[in-house]
């Protein structure tokens, strides 16, 4: 009976993440008045939505054994590209309606990610170098689209109801994040695409010998990462009614940290999208603690995140030795 209840080694990172989240939330709830309120909960998810969207795409990438350093830059590019598409010609834009501009931006972000996936797969290039080049390219294109790094979308009536929209206290970014999260959880666990992602991360050579579509799936994985990042950029542009070429700076590192803290192995093949949600919440709680403390330097959040990363990377190494 005890043996039957013993968790499998691949589940241990997720259990560790749950333990850290419960402990962190309990301490914060006891220390800070109002921390457990519904308003604080919805605000935490809303503030974490851009990071969460990037982390969802990053989860699939890391599950496959890859990495994507371009997501923060793609968010910035998508926001500024949407603004450029929608502003008038007197501001150097294309004066597109929102129902045309938004799908165009999402398509470009998806194509950008898929192109990096094609380079990685068919030219046998390291994901680190390809996505690093993609990061510089996307950020450079964003900076080149405006003279002062920011482009305001003026007189856009379709954005006003979206900015003011609330459902049970959740705003549009929070709802989009939660909806895409649920969809990603389903895709990762109950579709052929999800199973192939795990197979590639577990052992790419074995997956290839089994006749699985490695090439197509790799392209789809990075296209999905680009799509998630571009959705984050669109939501930022809607919320701020502007595009910003400097937004999302170093967000790719936070996304990687979130996925790792969420229990996904950097070597691929082990992890869950649900764990990424837990990682997002952990980083979100750590980020808002200085606000409650008042006199605490915000750089302590980076120190705490770094400490957690060391802890989880060490735990991953021990787990890998047990699995092997």
Tens of each residue's pLDDT in the chain, 324 residues: 344 445 566 667 777 788 888 888 888 888 888 788 888 889 889 888 989 999 999 999 999 999 999 999 999 999 999 999 888 777 777 888 888 999 999 999 999 999 999 999 999 999 999 999 999 999 999 998 887 778 888 777 777 777 778 888 888 889 999 999 999 999 999 999 999 999 999 888 888 888 889 999 999 999 999 999 999 999 998 888 888 888 888 899 999 999 988 888 888 888 899 999 999 998 888 888 877 777 666 667 777 778 777 777 776 666 655 555
Asked if the structure places residue 316 within a domain, the reply is yes
Angstrom distance (rounded) from CA 121 to CA 212: 14
pLDDT value for 4? 47
1 domain residue, yes or no: no
CA 44 to CA 229: how far, in whole Å?
A: 19
Give the residue from 193, 214, 217, 230 showing the smallest Cα distance to 70.
230
Classified as helix, coil or strand, 170 is strand
Report residue 261 as tokens: 């803290």
User: How many domains are contained in the chain?
Assistant: 1
| Neighbour count for residue 20 (Cβ, 10 Å) | 18
Q: Are 292 and 35 in contact, with CB atoms under 8 Å apart?
A: yes
In degrees, to the nearest 5, what angle opens at C-alpha 144 toward C-alphas 138 and 146? Answer: 120
Check which CATH number belongs to the domain holding 76 and give it.
1.10.3470
What is the domain range of residue 162? 6-323
Residue 199: per-residue pLDDT: 93
């Amino acid at each position: 009976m005890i043996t039957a209840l013993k968790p499998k080694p691949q589940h241990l990172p997720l259990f560790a993440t749950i333990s850290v989240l419960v402990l962190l939330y309990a301490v914060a709830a006891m220390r800070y008045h109002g921390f457990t309120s519904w308003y604080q909960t919805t605000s935490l998810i809303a503030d974490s939505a851009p990071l969460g969207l990037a982390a969802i795409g990053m989860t699939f990438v890391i599950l496959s054994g890859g990495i994507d350093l371009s997501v923060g830059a793609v968010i910035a590019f998508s926001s500024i590209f949407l603004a450029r598409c929608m502003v008038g010609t007197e501001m150097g834009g294309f004066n597109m309606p929102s129902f045309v501009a938004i799908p165009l931006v999402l398509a470009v972000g998806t194509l950008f990610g898929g192109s990096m996936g094609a380079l990685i797969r068919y030219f046998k290039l390291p994901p680190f170098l390809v996505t690093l080049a993609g990061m510089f390219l996307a950020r450079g294109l964003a900076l080149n689209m405006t003279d002062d790094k920011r482009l305001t979308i003026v007189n856009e009536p379709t954005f006003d109801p979206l900015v003011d929209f609330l459902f049970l206290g959740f705003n549009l970014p929070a709802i989009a994040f939660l909806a895409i999260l649920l969809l990603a959880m389903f895709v990762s666990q109950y579709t052929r695409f999800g199973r192939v992602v795990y197979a590639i991360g577990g052992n790419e050579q074995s997956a290839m010998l089994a006749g699985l579509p490695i090439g197509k799936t790799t392209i789809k994985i990075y296209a999905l990462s680009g799509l998630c990042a571009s959705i984050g950029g669109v939501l930022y542009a809607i919320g701020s009614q502007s595009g910003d070429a400097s937004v999302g700076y170093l967000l790719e590192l936070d996304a990687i940290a979130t996925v790792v803290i969420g229990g996904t192995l950097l070597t691929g093949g082990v992890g869950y999208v649900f764990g990424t949600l837990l990682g997002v919440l952990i980083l979100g709680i750590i980020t808002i603690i200085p606000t409650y403390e008042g006199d605490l330097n915000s750089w302590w959040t980076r120190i705490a995140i770094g400490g957690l990363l060391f802890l989880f990377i060490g735990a991953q190494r021990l787990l890998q030795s047990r699995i092997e």
